[in-house]
Amino acid sequence: MINWSNSDKKILDLIKKECSQILDLYKNHKKYLYRGVKNFNLITGKIYPKEDRKPLDIDKSFHDFLVMIFDRLNLGVNRNNCLFCTTDMWFASSFGNVFVVFPKNDFKYVWSEKIFDLYTDIDGICNNITRNNDNIIYLKDNMERIRIFEIKKIYLDIFYEEILKILHEEYKDISVIDKDRRTNKIHDIIINNKNIFNFSNSSFKNLLNLYCLPYHKSEFLHDIFFKEFKKLYKNTEIEKCLYSGHEIMLRAEYFYLVKFKNFLDVKNFLFN
């Protein structure tokens, strides 16, 4: 048993008073929401959601695009107004010291039964969208930033021919290129020739600028992502989320944190 400071005891009292909803869930299921925090060595703390957070892994422009998608889902939570948590303690530990999270009552949440962590799973989502749409290209630049484009349908044939021209210039021998579009989709040709079609290739970049719309300018891509995320995300069944090990996005006025290794000492106090 550790000696709790007066400020720690005050926070514990506030958790009992202001976080009864999450306490009931924790008590009934013996499962908890965790967050890994770097450079935070206190036993307890109180934090507020950042309204304009800087993403750690996904580049800012794609983050802003996802915020718009979540806003359109109208589930009350987007990636700008929430705290990211997980029910997987070991995953949380990869981000820093592990804390148990206590959102103030009347919190909102969004999670997915199929998404463990959006950053690690976004490749699969983009690839799935690309496979089902001939006029979408999914690439990453040399900084590993996501670049997804809509080829305007009126330009599909032109874009395809221009792609072949670049290949012909590289390989010279036209016989190497299969012109059967049933077996060689534009996206597949580009992916199979990454050494040619990359963001340092000025000819390729010019094609993208001429015939394609990037994700943040494409209503078509916005609609596609919206439909995909509508199938994936929900704001119900938090009990099931507790057992999933998946990422959950929590929105509350503020949150209390208790370091996990010390939480075990005060669990009985909080639950009674």
CA–CA gap between residue 34 and residue 100 (Å, rounded): 5
Task: Specify the residue for token string 């869930």.
Answer: 25
Listed residue (115, 127, 145) closest to 249, CA to CA = 115
Give the helix ranges, DSSP H, for the chain.
6-18, 20-29, 60-73, 89-93, 118-131, 156-171, 186-192, 202-211, 219-232, 238-244, 260-271
CA dihedral 176, 179, 185, 187 (to 10 degrees): 50
The class of domain 6-119+234-271 in CATH terms is alpha beta
Q: What is the mean pLDDT of each run of 10 residues along the chain (272 residues)?
A: 81 96 96 92 87 72 93 94 94 94 98 94 93 91 86 93 86 56 72 88 93 95 97 97 96 96 90 89
Tell me what pLDDT residue 39 has.
Answer: 80
* Strand order across the beta sheet in which 255-259 lies: 44-47, 255-259, 97-103, 34-37, 83-86, 247-251, 108-112, 233-234
CA–CA gap between residue 53 and residue 39 (Å, rounded): 18
Give the helix ranges, DSSP H, for 19-117.
20-29, 60-73, 89-93
CA–CA gap between residue 246 and residue 77 (Å, rounded): 16
Domain range list for the chain: 6-119+234-271, 133-225
Q: How many CB atoms lie within 10 A of CB 193?
A: 17
DSSP reduced 3-state for 92: helix
Amino acid at the residue 71: D
CA–CA gap between residue 82 and residue 168 (Å, rounded): 50
Angle at alpha carbon of residue 18, lines to 12 and 19, rounded to 5° = 80
Left if phi > 0, otherwise alpha if psi is -120 to 50, otherwise beta: which for 96?
left
Reading the block at residue 180, the tokens are: 């059967």
Q: 263: Cβ–Cβ under 8 A, 6 or more apart, which residues?
A: 32, 100
